[in-house]
Structure 1
Amino acid sequence: SKPILFGPNVFNFAEISTDLLEQNGAIQVSNADDLFKSITVLLTDTKTAKTLGNNANQYFQSKQGAVNKLIEQVRLSLH
């Protein structure tokens, strides 16, 4: 699992980015300097990088099958 970094413009995945930040699964950077600093930390602190990657992986695994669950809920509500 790899750590996730993203910039300030998250309008098309706002909920996911918020969730990842709350679960310590990503780092949001504001500019090139922040990006450089964050990458430097992740390259030198492998424990932090691994933790971020594992947390992100757990988040996405918890979301697997969400579409199928939603379809099943809709199907059940129609009967």
Structure 2
Amino acid sequence: SHNINEQLLKDAIIATSKKRNSLHIIENYNQIIQVIKNSEVMNQRWKSYQKDFNYVKGIEFNDCCNAVDNIMKNVL
């Protein structure tokens, strides 16, 4: 388990999204993560990725989406 400096992560996410002109995406992340989570295409891409990289074998796509969702809820 690693500790995350939530304020530093929040500042980095906001600064990066401002630089990329994508702050509106961050503001709508909750809807976007649900679309990604329910996407069969993204799920298939994850399975393909798992075949190429051993470190993600055994990690479910849904678990990854939930982890991102939880981090974003804590940070934003």
- Pairwise TM-score range, normalised by the shorter structure: under 0.3
1 or 2, which has the higher strand percentage? 1
1 or 2, which has the higher helix percentage? 2
Larger Rg: 1
- Could you state the TM-score of these two structures normalised by the residue count of structure 2? 0.28
